[in-house]
Amino acid sequence: MKNIMIAGAGVLGSQIAYQTALSGFNVSVYNHHIDTAERRIKALKSDYERDLHLTDKEFQQGLDNIKVITDDIATAVKDADLMIEALPESLELKEQFYEEVSGLAPEKTIFASNSSTFIPSQLASYTDRPEKFLNMHFANQIWKFNVVEIMGTSQTNPEVIEEATKFAREIRMVPVILNKEQHGYILNSLLIPLLASGLSLWAKGVADPAMIDKDWMISTGAPMGPFGILDMVGLRTAAQIERNAYAQTKDESHKEIADKMEQMIQEGHEGKESGQGFYNYPHPAFMDPDFLKH
């Protein structure tokens, strides 16, 4: 593999694109809004300089490997050995994308989804290459929390799993290979119940987000609580997951939570990236040394 296409330059898509480019691959990025994609990728500079101690020159070398950022799928995928889809968690949107990209991608191209909600067998049927389809799920802040969960279907060629595993190591990730399909993979099977419980406590008025986080952080020694994590993930993604859960279960509590987050989003409180979510950034209250003392 040498040429990698990233479809979607949201919070994780932009990270996957830059991490791949920094590791020496030629990267093309597909995103509806080119300027937004460019801004998100360049905004990673401070994180990489702080956490990985990259120099300005080293960060620029990564940017130089991003050969094209485009709103045209055909241009982005024309030479791709691997395409990683990181679009919003909408099954309808993903179906439309995969049907279009299938007719444009070279025969060699492996398709991977970063979906946190949908298992690969739900998406592979939208493509012309189910034997070359799998999920590659990255944790947020991938330069620091460098795990990628790899999950295929019963149709996925074992050699494709091997190729994805090799690629993961080459971009400095630790591959975690799942033996069978599992909604939520490993990470989210453990994390989502925590976030859902926190959101439920908030929606019911049991306690405010800061108090819930404070309890969790003091009691477990965790570096952040569920609402700090939600800000990092982004409220748009979290709200979409709650809407998906309501569509599947018709449980009104999911709708109530989604509506409350939607109100925050409409007010511009989308999480860390927008500067405000449940906390204000770049200096959220839970990072204050006194947060856990009182």
The alpha carbon dihedral of 85, 91, 92, 95 has a sign of positive
Tokens read off for 123? 């998406």
pLDDT in single tens digits along all 294 residues of the chain = 999 999 999 999 999 999 999 999 999 999 999 999 999 999 999 999 999 999 999 999 999 999 999 999 999 999 999 999 999 989 999 999 999 999 999 999 999 999 988 999 999 999 999 999 999 999 999 999 999 999 999 999 999 999 999 999 999 999 999 999 999 999 989 998 999 999 999 999 999 999 999 999 999 999 999 999 999 989 998 998 899 889 989 999 999 999 999 999 999 999 998 999 999 999 999 999 999 998
292 HSE (CA, 13 A, CB side): 15
What percent of the chain has a predicted confidence (pLDDT) above 70? 100
At 110, list the tokens.
């492996």
pLDDT for position 192:
87
Domain boundaries, the chain: 3-178, 186-287
Same fold, 3-178 and 186-287: no
Query: β-pairing, 133-138 with 147-151?
Result: antiparallel
Backbone angles phi, psi at 150, to 5 degrees: -110, 120
Helix (H) or strand (E) holding 67: strand 66-70
Name the CA radius of gyration of the chain, rounded.
19
CATH fold for domain 3-178: Rossmann fold (3.40.50)
DSSP 32: S
Which 3 state secondary structure label does DSSP give 242? helix
User: How long, in residues, is the chain?
Assistant: 294
User: Is residue 288 helix, strand or coil?
Assistant: coil
SS3 27: strand
For domain 186-287, say whether CATH 1.10.1040.10 is its number. yes
What are the tens digits of pLDDT across the range 107-163?
Answer: 999 999 999 889 999 999 999 999 999 999 999 999 999 999 999 999 999 999 999
> Kindly report the CA angle at 14 between 235 and 269, in degrees rounded to 5?
25
Contacts of 178 (CB under 8 A, 6+ apart): 149, 150, 151, 185, 186
Dist. CA 24–CA 47, nearest whole Å: 19
The answer to whether 119 and 182 have CB atoms below 8 angstroms apart is: yes
Placement of tokens 């569920």 in the chain? 226
State how far the Cα of 166 lies from the Cα of 199, in Å rounded to an integer: 37
